[in-house]
Chain A
Amino acid sequence: MIELEDLSVQLGKRLILSNLKASLKGRAIGLLGPNGSGKSTLINTLLGFHPPLSGTARIFGKDIRTHAKELRRVIGYMPESDSFISDMTGVGFVRYMAEISGLPANEAMERTHEAFFYVGLGEARYRKLGTYSLGMKQMAKLAQAIVHGPQLLFLDEPTNGLDPPARQRMINLIREIRDTPGMYLILSSHLLRDVEECCEEALILRDGKIAAYCNLDEERRSNRKFIEMETVGAKEEFSSAIEQLGCECAWFSNGRAKLVLPPSVEMRQLYNTAAQFSVQIRKINYRKDSLEDIFLRAMDGKFQPEKMKAQSNVS
């Protein structure tokens, strides 16, 4: 979806992004990094707000330097800060934005109403934006970002300042949009939980460089090898059968065991073996690598994506 080709961006005399090189293929990508790491600058550059110092980026195969206007037609942007014309009504503002995106007046009006109902502000759409609460403003920002039906959505801190129920509503909406066929989104957030709940992949920036780019599911799966389980009816034969699968196994009292599964062994094989020896697996825990672990490792410079780990194991 997005190709970063040695992208460097300088603002004033400071180099903010330095030789970013990555191919972002996921449908929902979380952009993470500490303050000042270049997340917003990357989004702004992809939107064409900042010219690259060197290198470039391609969105859907089109160069951001030469096809900026064309690309902006298929991009929706929800900025972090309050960006409104406060003396306009919600419906007036979003319709205005839809028309500027190129929608004819009637279609713009129709989609504005739909967008407001979609984000749950249907009843408040004729109120002036200045009278909206913080949560409503966030939803109105989402409405203006999706009103023209973009294919790629940039969401900059979409849950900022939201209370837990409002945050959950926002997350649900983002997931729903993400699951629409042909839809892609980039979510920049300092809340790891938001990224964990909405995204398939995470791009972690540190000091304007890529500290990590990983597929979250793959990273999680990679840590299934550490397993704790409680069994009923386990005997020596079961233990031997598991070891024959290639697992390292340590048994404790009351049928408790700790296992290390090799990468080739799937969980299904463990269940099949248990069924074969009439062993009940009452409880099974495998430690998931949380996004926080990945993030902290990336910040320490120790992150190695799972694919690369596999390659190094093979070699």
Chain B
Amino acid sequence: MSVNKRVYRPYAGRYTSEKTRFLILPRYAYSSLFDSRFLLAFFVACNIPTLLFLAAIYFSHNPLAQAMLQMKGTEVFLKIDNGFFEKFLRFQGLLCFILAAWVGPGLISADLSNDALPLYLARPFSRTEYVLGKFTVLGALLSLVTWIPGLLLFAVQADLADWTWFSKSYWIAGSLILGSFIWIALLSLMALAFSAWIKWKLSATALMLGVFFALAGFGEAVNEILRTKWGKIFNLPAAIQLVWLDLFQVPMNSRFRGGAGDLPSWAAWAILLSFTSFCLLMLNRKLKAREVVR
């Protein structure tokens, strides 16, 4: 083929590596996602809390600045420990959820509603690579508001604090990464699974909100009616909170009594694992080049 000659010619050039080919999907997805100024503005706004936490670290190491600003009674907030980073992750986790609910439901539904999946899978591109590519869209985006800024905060704190703090608290970095990964995996897989099952983006978003909030309400109703605590297994936000508390070794306080704290931490882990597996199963069932009517 040639624009001028207009004849068909087979391709004889080189090919890109198959191992990194799934990264084409996020590249195209971002170019279309960030056409939306609202999303861009929100994404930038997601990093404002990081700046506030950064400021907290700065002030905690600068008594002069504290004195100049007459900061009294802020010792609890300025105490940089595992609880500080757990708070950071909890806050960013909420923003993550909003981002995932915004971006995720449109990722696969657009391909399915346009019947474009056979075009991907008729090429040297597998279903796994397709899911991995779509997962990377959300994974990279959510990483930029969770563990990446979290590690930045940790690095700044480690730099400003003495060696003793680092030697006692280095595990916080691992908790930060693991806690973020679990949340990102859960949100991304859920958004992709709903996107695959419900071809209409708005419905998929509504379902995602429903699973987080309506299901939690349902769990509470079960608790009330059956006078049990196991209704909490439907409460995903509570389960992730419990897992984070476990990871950051933050002791339970009254805030959690009657909440997620009612459940043992293994149950929280099991809930998240089950839900993630269920999402993978949904994706496996739905992502087929040709749907077979049985």
Q: Point out residues on A near B: beta carbons under 8 Å.
A: 11-13, 44, 47-50, 69-70, 72-73, 75, 77, 79, 81-88, 92, 96-97, 99-104, 107, 111, 113-115, 117-118, 122, 144, 146, 148-151, 154, 176-177, 180, 182-183
Contacts and interface: CB of A to CB of B under 8 A. Distances in A.
B9 A149 contact: yes
**Which among A79, A97, A100 has the greatest number of chain B C-beta atoms within 10 A?**
A100
A98 to B, nearest CB: 9
B120 interface: yes
**Which among A11, A49, A103, A115 has the greatest number of chain B C-beta atoms within 10 A?**
A49
**Which among B15, B16, B123 has the greatest number of chain A C-beta atoms within 10 A?**
B123
Given A77-B122, A83-B116, A96-B28, A114 B3 contact: yes
Nearest to A45: B290
Nearest to A115: B1
Given A114-B1, A146-B8, A84 B116 contact: yes
Interface string B262-294: 000000000000000000000000001110111
Contacts of A83: 114-116, 118-119
B16 A111 contact: no
B13 interface: yes
Given A102-B15, A102-B16, A149-B10, 15 more contacts: A11-B294, A49-B121, A50-B290, A72-B122, A73-B15, A83-B116, A84-B114, A85-B110, A87-B32, A96-B28, A103-B11, A115-B1, A149-B1, A149-B12, A150-B10
Given A114-B1, A182-B10, A101 B123 contact: yes
A176 B125 contact: no
A104 B124 contact: no
Given A49-B289, A77-B119, A111-B11, A100 B6 contact: no
B255 interface: no
| 4 closest cross-chain pairs (CB), A and B | A149-B11, A12-B294, A114-B1, A102-B15
Contacts of A92: 28
Nearest to A154: B122
B114 A85 contact: yes
B40 interface: no
A195 to B, nearest CB: 20
Given A73-B15, A73-B124, A118 B6 contact: yes
B8 A72 contact: no
Contacts of A77: 118-119, 122
Interface of B is mostly: loop
**Which among B116, B122, B288 has the greatest number of chain A C-beta atoms within 10 A?**
B122
Interface string B80-122: 0000000000000000000000000000001100111011111
B2 interface: yes
B24 to A, nearest CB: 5
A118 B9 CA distance: 10
Contacts of A182: 10
Contact of A12 (B18, B28, B292): B292
14 contacts: A44-B290, A48-B121, A83-B119, A100-B24, A111-B1, A114-B2, A146-B1, A149-B9, A149-B12, A151-B10, A154-B122, A176-B8, A180-B9, A183-B8
